[in-house]
Structure 1
């Protein structure tokens, strides 16, 4: 399948399977309580059971599945508490991103962020939310790279992935794209000036607003599910 053409990225088969199943969990293809059967997954993916088994072990370490005796591997997924925890932790450390990025960013990286921002502005005028979401993710991934800290980059990229669905829904809420664009502009301007305080404040403000929006979306979804359960 096309997934395994990604070997050009020098990723192992186990890593590719892990990423595929993780994406399916985070996108809602597999939900909390679903069983992941090793032999069935191996058949679907056209691979042997060994890399699937290893991928499931990695997913267990990530906390996305549980291996329950006499039951097998069961999906845990991302709970509302998980999202709350991620948003709180992210807010605490994004200020450090602003500081390190302002101190360490290179000219060509500033240009790259400006180009991504320009594209976000272009697609916002077209109302292409999916493209804006893709560019928003790229903006933050690029921003994390400018800190020159692989640990910080790794943690925050994982956080972005774990709350992907909530972030996407957040951007689709009324007025959020316009607000987010202004916030991204402030971040880019602060970094161009290598202004540590302004960059830190711009990042914290952006993430705080994003978090507030995501929490509102999650709360609405939770209330919707409760109401549907009553019917």
Structure 2
């Protein structure tokens, strides 16, 4: 009985992950109609697990199910970004504050190592490597905060941000600005200053949103 129920569950989860990757890479860009029949044929599956996978992605805000019209990759507006970044700033600020009290010497050493990678990537203007280290820095702070509910909500909201057609690090001067902000956050955590850690993390998140706004404005002027 148990074995017969595992395979379908694993199948729709695998399909959801594959579609999630295609959405994040913008192979399926925002606004795209999801052709269920074509995808089912491509993956060699029935439409049942595909539809279950789409329900999962809909719960994450990555796709939108429209009655009698089908499924579409969610389009995220500037207002959506404003609202999501505001919430993330609050949550990640709380993580930074909590991490100050909970960080062990080993945790601090790990943060220093990640920041060293940020410094090296910035010096080499390696945006991909910087982005990966940036993600790691934030994730480690969230792990140190040791609040699984905060981590879960932040991860869900960051999935929505990935729907944006642009990345803040491509804004002129943003990489250097982001590096300086990370330095300030690390300094606050090392100094065991919860107020400064929270304030600087919130400022860092809002700076990222401002960079995305500059990119959008430049795109609109060009259009």
Query: How many residues were matched structurally?
Result: 215
SS of 1:146's partner is: helix
Does the alignment pair 1:184 with 2:173? no
CA contact (8 A) 1:141 1:157 kept: no
Q: 2:156 aligns with which of 134, 158, 162?
A: 158
Query: Of 209, 212, 217, which residue of structure 2 is paired with 1:211?
Result: 209
Residue number in structure 1 paired with 2:5? none
Question: Per-residue deviation at 1:151?
Answer: 1.1
Alpha-carbon distance in 2 for matches of 1:167, 1:110: 34
- What runs of 5+ residues in structure 2 fail to find an aligned partner? 1-8
Aligned match for 1:63, one of 61, 64, 67: 61
8 Å Cα contact 1:133/1:168 also seen in 2: no
Aligned partners of 2:86 and 2:206 also within 8 Å: no
* Ranges in structure 1 where 5+ consecutive residues have no aligned partner: 1-10
1:202 and 2:197 matched: no
Q: TM-score, normalised by structure 1?
A: 0.82
Corresponding residue number in structure 2 for 1:106: 104
The alpha-carbon distance between structure 1 residues 193 and 12, as it changes in their structure 2 partners (threshold 3 A), is farther
2:113 is aligned to 115
Output the TM-score relative to the length of structure 2. 0.84
User: Looking at both structures, which has the greater relative contact order when contacts are Cα pairs under 8 Å and sequence separation is at least 6?
Assistant: 2
CA shift, 1:166, in A, is 5.0
Root mean square deviation, CA, Å: 2.3
Query: Do the aligned partners of 1:109 and 1:146 also contact (CA within 8 Å) in 2?
Result: yes
- Give 1:193 shift: 2.5
Report the CA distance between 1:80 and its aligned residue: 2.4
Correspondence for 2:142:
144
Q: Tell me what 1:23 maps to.
A: 21
Q: CA deviation at 1:179?
A: 1.6
2:81 corresponds in structure 1 to: 83
After superposition, what is the alpha-carbon deviation per residue over 1:45-95, rounded to whole angstroms, capped at 9, x for unaligned?
Answer: 344433322111112222332333333222323232221211121223332
